């Protein structure tokens, strides 16, 4: 028997391209594994490919390929033919996990994947792709608030994403001098919940659409913050904002056009007392527009599904000062979002 040929190192430039070619395949394998319920099933008990195939209604030879891909991607482990979840899957890929990202993953699979298929058209025309793919101009919120289950799954995914970023966001600056924070468009309230945990004298409000508030209330209760955080229903473009000396916008501004961003910033500034603050949580582009790649990919995501985009610190500073704020500072967190603080 002859030995196999020795593997030679791949050209580094080829590696860059080949890894990107595999990128969408790896993402889709994870999407399908979440959609099939593989990680939830394996949390109950380990299983062979044949056992999982019978439970999930799949062909064994096909499911083995998904399972093998998940092992290679460090989402599963396998021992004597029995698969089990990795720590990453246990925490982030099970629907029932308190840290789950499954809602965001299902949204990526069922909506973003389809919108991204029209990225070239979006680049040529400069507009989102809802009409082209779904036959209507409805956007992200109308689509995922179509049923209570859709809404709760989507918000749970966004909550999981927020849990990664919000502790760093509220720790980036000293917010101890503020007394009342309104989390504008706060959804599950992960920003204001983390702020109240860090600053014991702070009171909070989650301000969001009427359809969201029942879900917000549940998350406030789970956090044990009912005595410190209220929920108030309203549309931040059309309704008065609750009074506060600190407002927070967590992944809100990147959804909207420049005109709407300017309107919202002016509105918030007008509600603040002198010395009041605005905490903005968004992924920042480098000033020289050299990256980071995560921020640019998110900006492309905004192109295909919203009217917004990601921005540089200087762009945010210009927008806040135009709205009436006098001070602006920012911090990069290394998390899914960075953080900025503007003061009136």
Closest by CA to 298, choosing from 165, 151, 116, 147, is 116
Yes or no: domain 12-92 corresponds to CATH 1.10.10.10: yes
Which amino acids are annotated catalytic?
254
Q: How is residue 188 written in tokens?
A: 């599950």
Residue 239's SS3 state is coil
Three-point CA angle 68, 72, 77, nearest 5°: 75
**What pTM was estimated for this model as a whole?**
0.92
Does domain 140-343 bear CATH number 3.40.50.150?
Answer: yes
Q: What residues does CATH 1.10.10.10 cover in the chain?
A: 12-92
The answer to whether the Cα torsion of 60, 64, 65, 70 is positive or negative is positive
Q: Which of 226, 229, 184 is nearest to 202 (CA)?
A: 229
Cα–Cα distances in angstroms (integers) from residue 164 to residues 100, 146, 287, 336, in the given order: 11, 27, 24, 7
Q: What is the pLDDT of residue 234?
A: 98
Write out the residue limits of the CATH 3.40.50.150 domain(s) in the chain: 140-343
- The pair of structure tokens assigned to 242 is 């609750």
Residue 338's nearest CA partner among 297, 285, 270 is 285
Q: Tell me, what's the pLDDT at 286?
A: 98
φ, ψ for residue 327 (rounded to 5)? -125, 150
| Secondary structure tally for the chain: helices H, strands E | 16, 9
Helix ranges, 188-337 (H): 190-198, 213-222, 258-271, 293-305, 313-323
pLDDT of residue 226: 96
DSSP 242: P
Compute φ and ψ for 241, nearest 5 degrees. Answer: -85, 145
How would you write the pLDDT of the chain (344 residues) with one tens digit per residue? 556 655 556 699 999 999 999 999 999 999 999 999 999 999 999 999 999 999 999 999 999 999 999 999 999 999 999 999 999 999 999 998 989 999 899 989 998 999 999 999 999 999 999 999 998 766 666 666 677 887 888 888 889 999 999 999 999 999 999 999 999 999 999 999 999 999 999 999 999 999 999 999 999 999 999 999 999 999 999 999 999 999 999 999 999 999 999 999 999 999 999 999 999 999 999 999 999 999 999 999 999 999 999 999 999 999 999 999 999 999 999 999 999 999 99
């Amino acid at each position: 028997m002859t030995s196999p040929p020795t593997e030679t190192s791949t050209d580094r430039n080829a590696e860059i391209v080949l890894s990107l070619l595999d990128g969408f395949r790896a993402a889709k394998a994870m999407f399908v594994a979440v959609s099939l319920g593989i990680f939830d099933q394996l949390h109950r008990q380990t299983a062979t490919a044949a056992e999982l195939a019978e439970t999930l209604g799949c062909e064994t030879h096909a499911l083995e390929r998904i399972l093998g891909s998940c092992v290679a991607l460090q989402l599963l482990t396998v021992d004597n033919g029995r698969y089990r979840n990795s720590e990453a899957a246990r925490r982030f890929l099970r629907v029932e996990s308190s840290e789950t990202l499954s809602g965001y993953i299902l949204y990526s699979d069922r909506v973003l994947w389809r919108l991204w298929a029209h990225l070239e058209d979006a680049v040529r025309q400069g507009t989102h792709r809802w009409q082209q793919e779904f036959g209507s101009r409805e956007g992200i919120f109308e689509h995922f608030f179509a049923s209570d289950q859709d809404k709760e799954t989507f918000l749970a995914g966004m909550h999981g994403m927020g849990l990664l970023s919000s502790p760093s966001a509220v720790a980036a600056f000293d917010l101890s001098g503020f007394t009342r924070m309104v989390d504008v468009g706060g959804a599950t309230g992960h920003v204001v919940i983390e702020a109240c945990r860090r600053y014991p004298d702070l009171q909070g409000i989650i301000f969001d659409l009427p359809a969201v508030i029942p879900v917000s209330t549940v998350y406030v209760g789970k956090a044990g913050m009912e005595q410190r955080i209220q929920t108030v229903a309203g549309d931040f473009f059309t309704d008065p904002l609750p009074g506060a000396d600190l407002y927070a916008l967590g992944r809100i501004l990147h959804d909207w056009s420049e005109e709407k961003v300017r309107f919202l910033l002016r509105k918030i500034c007008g509600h603040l007392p002198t010395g009041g603050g605005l905490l903005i949580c968004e992924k920042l582009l480098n000033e020289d527009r050299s990256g980071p790649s995560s921020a640019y990919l998110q900006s492309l995501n905004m192109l295909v599904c919203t009217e917004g985009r990601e921005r540089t610190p200087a762009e945010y500073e210009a927008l806040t000062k135009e709205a009436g704020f006098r001070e602006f500072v920012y911090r990069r967190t290394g998390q899914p979002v960075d953080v900025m603080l503007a003061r009136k």
